Chain A
Amino acid sequence: MTRSGFITLLGALTAAPAAAQHLVITPQAALVDYGEVSSALRFSGVGPAVQASFTFGRFAAEGSFVSVQMDPTDQTSAAEGFQATEIVGHIRYEVTGYLGLEVGLTSRTTDSEFAAQSIGAASVGVRTHYLLGPGARVWARGGYLAAAQFSGGGSAPLSFEVGLGVDVTLVRHVHLTADYGFEKFGRKTEPGGGAEVTAPIEQSQARLGVAAVF
């Protein structure tokens, strides 16, 4: 970026009305359910998470970090758990007062390459939100997960995500948040160069937190 371009961007940022800018930091508790290939590989876990967002006029940037120790569920044959670390980023543009377009990146890594797949993907989707009442807002999102990459190889041309969330103002700078996200990767792989097999991956994640709004 040239110096003049940078100065122009800086001027535009500082010229925006302060009321249109919000910084939100939300410590959360995450509850995660993860499944891969078949019902024999199901994990669940609870862990800390943090989400941050910055709103500037019609634009918003969001990022979240989740670190969860995933343990096999009782109904599975998996022998060991793993530590999952997820980083998600979105940039949103509010087209209307209740509908926004989003693009983002998702990265989920595990500390055990043999226990679960590490995943990276881009996302494109929409998010809609409505006021339930004074200080209460509900939102839902849906998106396509594109260009998914897996540590174990394979591709997932049909991958989607849906989400649900609610945000309630407790006091002026403190909000209560509850987010839900579901990701489905329709992964297909060719183990050993053989026939293509379906190895779907799903993750269901709930996060409850208290947000500090500035």
Chain B
Amino acid sequence: MRRCSLLLVLALCDPLAVWAQAAHQPKSATLRQALQAYDNLDFTRAVALARRALTERLSGPDQAQTYELLGFAFAAVDSQAKAVDAFKQAILLDPDRQLDQSKVSPKITSLFYSAMGQVLVVRQLRVDSARFIPGQGSVPLRFTITSPARVRVRAVSGATTLLVDSMVTTGLVNTRWTARLPGGDPVATGAWLIVVEATAGQNAYSASQALRVAYNLVDTLPHLTSLPGYQELPETEVPPQSWRPLGLAFLFTTATAVGVVALHSGDLGSAPGTELATVGAVTIGTGLVMTLRKPAPRPATGNILYNKLLREQLAQRNADITKENVKRRQQVVLSVVPLPPPAGAPR
């Protein structure tokens, strides 16, 4: 009954799709025959052909795929211990190997992860691209340790070796590389290798990822022409229309006329009027014109002070930007880019 149900599950999980997800076309003819036998649900033949393939000179990916096929086949015939052993070999050969849980039966997936927990490997070592000023950023690193181990992460370039991190851990690990030398200077440009070493008793495993480190100039800040959100106000304002000019002209003319009348001696007849009337008319006429004329703009003290403050703030900001730019011109931006693995390396 158990065997029947397992066959049913395997039939439902479309073995061809399982192999397709590996995106690897085996070169070994024997391996291809073994895969075909598995697809035909002839598990005994699949095991025999896979074992024969392992006696041949296989490439690393072919070897890993052969052990994985053995694991699938042993699982299908309920040889769980053998299946786990086969999966362990596959994982050791290709630590990044994964099963598509949507296409593989839970039983096989369970055996696969059981195998993974019994070996010590560093999986899925990933280094993200990063661009930062030394001391103000770092390179994110992440990887998975399949079983508890002491882990050391190092950055290596030629004779230079820098310890990035050291821990006892298992599972997913996130850490960062500051890309600085112990003295605080940025690391040299060129090729670097991030090496993750895991040690547990007699078992040891290491994985690495190549990087390229380059220097770039730090972008300088543009100077400001205005403060965002603040605008200068008009420094003059047109005062409201006023009768003051006419009033002043009338006042001056009247005062003079009063003075003339007061000083005039009655013995000399009527007070002289033509001259005063002439100049008085010109004066009052000027006052009237100035009253009717559009008032001249006058300084707006509040706005002038506001603008002065704004300009001082702008000058201060630009002075700060200048200082910052001077500092930035003395700095570099580290550009860290992970390099693809060499061709033919296991995924």
A178→B249 contact, CB < 8 A: no
When distances are taken between beta carbons in the complex, the residues of chain A under 8 Å from B280 are 164, 180
When distances are taken between beta carbons in the complex, the residues of chain A under 8 Å from B283 are 138, 164-166, 178
The contact string, 1 if C-beta is below 8 Å from chain A, for chain B 267-296, is 111101011101110110011011101011
CB of B259 closer than 8 Å to a CB of A: yes
Q: Determine the distance from Cα of A96 to Cα of B291 in the docked complex, in whole angstroms.
A: 25
Count, chain B residues at interface, CB 8 A:
33
Q: State the majority secondary structure of interface residues on B.
A: helix
When distances are taken between beta carbons in the complex, the residues of chain A under 8 Å from B276 are 164, 180, 182, 204, 206
Which of A165, A178, A182 gathers the greatest number of chain B CB atoms within 10 Å?
A182
A140→B268 contact, CB < 8 A: no
The distance from the CB of B276 to the nearest CB of chain A, in whole angstroms, is 6
CB contact between A31 and one of B253, B274, B289 (< 8 Å): that residue: B274
Q: Name the residue of chain A whose CB is nearest to the CB of B265.
A: A200
Q: Name the residue of chain B whose CB is nearest to the CB of A206.
A: B275
CB contact between A134 and one of B249, B279, B291, B296 (< 8 Å): that residue: B296
CB of A38 closer than 8 Å to a CB of B: yes
Count, chain A residues at interface, CB 8 A:
40
CB contact between A133 and one of B252, B256, B293 (< 8 Å): that residue: B293
A33→B269 contact, CB < 8 A: no
Q: Name the residue of chain B whose CB is nearest to the CB of A203.
A: B272
CB of A4 closer than 8 Å to a CB of B: no
CB of A119 closer than 8 Å to a CB of B: no
Given A39-B269, A180-B280, A206-B274, the answer on whether A163 and B256 have CB atoms closer than 8 Å is yes
When distances are taken between beta carbons in the complex, the residues of chain A under 8 Å from B265 are 184, 186, 200, 202
Q: Determine the distance from Cα of A136 to Cα of B286 in the docked complex, in whole angstroms.
A: 8
CB contact between B245 and one of A31, A38, A136, A202 (< 8 Å): that residue: A136
The distance from the CB of A193 to the nearest CB of chain B, in whole angstroms, is 22
When distances are taken between beta carbons in the complex, the residues of chain B under 8 Å from A33 are 272, 274-275
The contact string, 1 if C-beta is below 8 Å from chain A, for chain B 317-331, is 000000000000000
When distances are taken between beta carbons in the complex, the residues of chain B under 8 Å from A202 are 263-265, 268, 272
Q: Determine the distance from Cα of A31 to Cα of B267 in the docked complex, in whole angstroms.
A: 22
CB of A205 closer than 8 Å to a CB of B: yes
B260→A182 contact, CB < 8 A: yes
The distance from the CB of A5 to the nearest CB of chain B, in whole angstroms, is 40
Q: Name the residue of chain B whose CB is nearest to the CB of A133.
A: B290
A 23-39 contacts with B by CB, 8 A: 31-33, 35-39
When distances are taken between beta carbons in the complex, the residues of chain A under 8 Å from B290 are 132-134, 136
A 116-136 contacts with B by CB, 8 A: 130, 132-134, 136
CB of B168 closer than 8 Å to a CB of A: no
B 230-271 contacts with A by CB, 8 A: 245, 248-249, 252-253, 255-256, 259-260, 263-265, 267-270
Given A133-B296, A184-B263, A206-B279, the answer on whether A164 and B252 have CB atoms closer than 8 Å is yes
CB of A162 closer than 8 Å to a CB of B: yes
Given A132-B286, A166-B249, the answer on whether A31 and B263 have CB atoms closer than 8 Å is no
CB of A2 closer than 8 Å to a CB of B: no
CB contact between A138 and one of B252, B260, B263, B296 (< 8 Å): that residue: B252
The distance from the CB of A109 to the nearest CB of chain B, in whole angstroms, is 21
Given A133-B293, A138-B248, A140-B252, the answer on whether A204 and B272 have CB atoms closer than 8 Å is yes
Given A35-B269, A198-B267, the answer on whether A142 and B279 have CB atoms closer than 8 Å is no
When distances are taken between beta carbons in the complex, the residues of chain B under 8 Å from A35 are 268-269, 272
Which of A38, A132, A139 gathers the greatest number of chain B CB atoms within 10 Å?
A132
CB of A90 closer than 8 Å to a CB of B: no
B275→A31 contact, CB < 8 A: yes
B259→A142 contact, CB < 8 A: yes
Q: Name the residue of chain B whose CB is nearest to the CB of A162.
A: B259
Which of B253, B255, B275, B293 gathers the greatest number of chain A CB atoms within 10 Å?
B275
CB of A75 closer than 8 Å to a CB of B: yes
CB contact between A42 and one of B248, B268, B279 (< 8 Å): that residue: B268
CB contact between B253 and one of A37, A134, A164, A206 (< 8 Å): that residue: A164
A residues sitting closer than 8 Å to B (CB atoms) are 31-33, 35-39, 42, 44, 75, 130, 132-134, 136, 138-140, 142, 160, 162-166, 168, 178-180, 182, 184, 186, 198, 200, 202, 204-206, 208
Given contacts A133-B291, A206-B274, 8 further A-B contacts (CB under 8 A): A37-B267, A39-B267, A130-B252, A136-B286, A163-B256, A168-B286, A180-B256, A184-B265
| 18 cross-chain CB contacts under 8 A | A35-B269, A35-B272, A37-B267, A38-B267, A44-B274, A132-B286, A133-B245, A136-B286, A138-B286, A140-B255, A162-B256, A162-B259, A162-B263, A178-B283, A180-B280, A182-B272, A204-B276, A206-B275
9 closest Cβ pairs, A-B complex? A39-B269, A133-B290, A206-B275, A204-B272, A180-B279, A162-B259, A164-B256, A200-B265, A35-B268
